[in-house]
Amino acid sequence: MTLRTTRETFSELDLARVDPAACLKHLGAGVSRNTAELAPVRPVLEFSMVDPRFVEESDVLGDLDDRPNLLEMTPTEFEGLIQNLFTRMGLETRQTRPSRDGGVDCVAYDPRPIMGGKVVIQAKRYRNTVGVSAVRDLYGTLQNEGASKGILVTTSGYGQASFDFAKNKPIELLDGANLLYLLQEHAGVEARIEAPDGWRDPDPDRAEPSAPAVPLRAGENVKISSPVLTCSFTLPTADHDPCALLLGHDRKVRSDADFVFYNQPVSKDGAVGLDTATRQVRADLARLATDVCSILLVTSGPPGPVRLSVTERDGTVHALATNPTAETVLICAEIYRRQGGWRLRAVGQGYADGLAGLARDHGVVID
């Protein structure tokens, strides 16, 4: 026997008074002919197809000219093309709004039992190699969405660091050659990838500074207007490592998952990520859980001069600098909630006993 129902439907039943056979029939149960035998039952795999980010599907594939150049398409057209392609490949797909959608350009659903699940897809029209930070961001989004797989599709290619990061993770990297093949195989489209004159790869996550950096001295704070921040460290040696801690009201991490470092480069909610290659911490404050009250920006390594620049989406840069003489773990700055918004405070203090001091004060368990 197999049966699936909702809590509301089940709570309406008076089990002391119902007829068992009639009840099972009412609930749509499947019952084998012989109670001593198991009958084959297809596993139930259900997806929520309601999401405010979804937009109406457009038939980009049907409107393509012969030998279309993928780099001449608009970002929205390219995302629609990817959505159409995965639909042709047998998945149920939905395209998201052309805006800051948490790293999701398309959501696909593989209805196969056991092997299927929710898939998040990101599409990038690039001529140059896609950086490992894009793969890290996708992994954070995958975790935040509760998806079973993430796919990054580009018109260019990936470096070894991207493949190293994706190894043993539910991430698939499709380069330009793969994309051209899939379009030919599943849609009968012979596309091409040729950069137009003056082409420049988009980099929406990194703003161009529009004004000189605004220096902050230890103890000073400033209001943050942008929900997306890029925090770039300039460190004295290769032995220094940047990291970040997400803290609750009690100034403690909620769990070890709130310690973002080289071996755990993305927070559980995907809101904070570390790119060890560029020594950048990227934070999407809008995606943080409400019980996260602050983010500490930290470095560890021998004492020496440390500089940190925090760049907002509009290009505003806040610069912090310090030169510890004894501290081997340094809290450079803190991003914290204040009266419904966010502020940035320069700290410039740390621990001479290293990570042990940081762990002691903020509840991190370090093996």
CATH code (residue 271): 2.60.60.30
**Domain with 147 in it:** 54-187
211 — pLDDT class (breaks 50, 70, 90) = low
Kindly report, residue by residue over 27-43, the tens digit of the pLDDT: 877 777 776 776 666 55
Residue length, the chain?
Answer: 367
* Whether residue 311 is found in the same domain as residue 230: yes
Percent over 90 (pLDDT), the chain? 35
Asked if pLDDT for residue 45 goes beyond 60, the answer is no
* Whether residue 303 is found in the same domain as residue 167: no
* Whether residue 225 is found in the same domain as residue 161: no
Quick check: is 296 in a domain?
Answer: yes
Asked if pLDDT for residue 333 goes beyond 80, the answer is yes
Model confidence, pTM: 0.50
* Whether residue 28 is found in the same domain as residue 61: no
**Which of 34-43, 81-90, 149-158, 312-321 shows the lowest per-residue confidence on average (mean pLDDT)?**
34-43
Phi, psi torsion values for 134, nearest 5 degrees:
-65, -35
Quick check: is 194 in a domain?
Answer: no
Asked if pLDDT for residue 315 goes beyond 90, the answer is no
User: For residues 334 and 145, what is the distance between their CA atoms, to the nearest angstrom?
Assistant: 27
Quick check: is 230 in a domain?
Answer: yes
Asked if pLDDT for residue 54 goes beyond 70, the answer is no
> Cβ of 33: how many Cβ atoms within 10 Å?
6
* Whether residue 218 is found in the same domain as residue 239: yes
Tell me the residue ranges of DSSP E strands in the chain. 54-55, 92-96, 106-110, 117-124, 149-154, 171-174, 214-216, 221-224, 228-234, 241-247, 259-260, 272-275, 280-284, 294-300, 306-312, 317-322, 329-338, 341-351
Kindly report, residue by residue over 173-209, the tens digit of the pLDDT: 999 999 999 999 998 989 999 988 888 876 544 434 4
* Alpha helices, H only, 5-53: 7-11, 20-26
**Which of 21-35, 79-93, 137-151, 246-260 shows the lowest per-residue confidence on average (mean pLDDT)?**
21-35
Give the pLDDT confidence score for residue 63 in this predicted structure. 67
Q: Cβ-count burial of 339 within 10 angstroms (0-12 exposed, 13-18 middle, 19+ buried)?
A: exposed
* Whether residue 222 is found in the same domain as residue 283: yes
**Residue of 64, 52, 180 whose CA lies nearest to 104:** 52
Q: Cβ-count burial of 56 within 10 angstroms (0-12 exposed, 13-18 middle, 19+ buried)?
A: exposed
CATH code (residue 117): 3.40.1350.10
* Whether residue 71 is found in the same domain as residue 157: yes
* Whether residue 76 is found in the same domain as residue 35: no
Quick check: is 36 in a domain?
Answer: yes
Q: Between 3 and 260, whose confidence is greater? A: 260
Coil/strand/helix, residue 241: strand
Kindly report, residue by residue over 100-152, the tens digit of the pLDDT: 444 577 888 887 766 778 888 989 999 888 888 788 888 877 877 778 899 99
367 — pLDDT class (breaks 50, 70, 90) = low
Distance from chain centroid for Cα 10? 37
* Whether residue 171 is found in the same domain as residue 226: no
Instruction: Count up the domains in the chain and report the number.
Output: 3
Give the pLDDT confidence score for residue 100 in this predicted structure. 46
* Whether residue 284 is found in the same domain as residue 326: yes
Q: How high is the mean pLDDT of the chain? A: 84
Over residues 58-66, mean pLDDT: 72
* Whether residue 255 is found in the same domain as residue 292: yes
* Whether residue 144 is found in the same domain as residue 89: yes
C-alpha distances in angstroms, 103 versus 130, 143, 152?
15, 12, 10
Classify residue 273 by its DSSP letter.
E
Strands lying side by side in the sheet with 214-216 = 214-216, 317-322, 306-312, 228-234, 280-284, 272-275
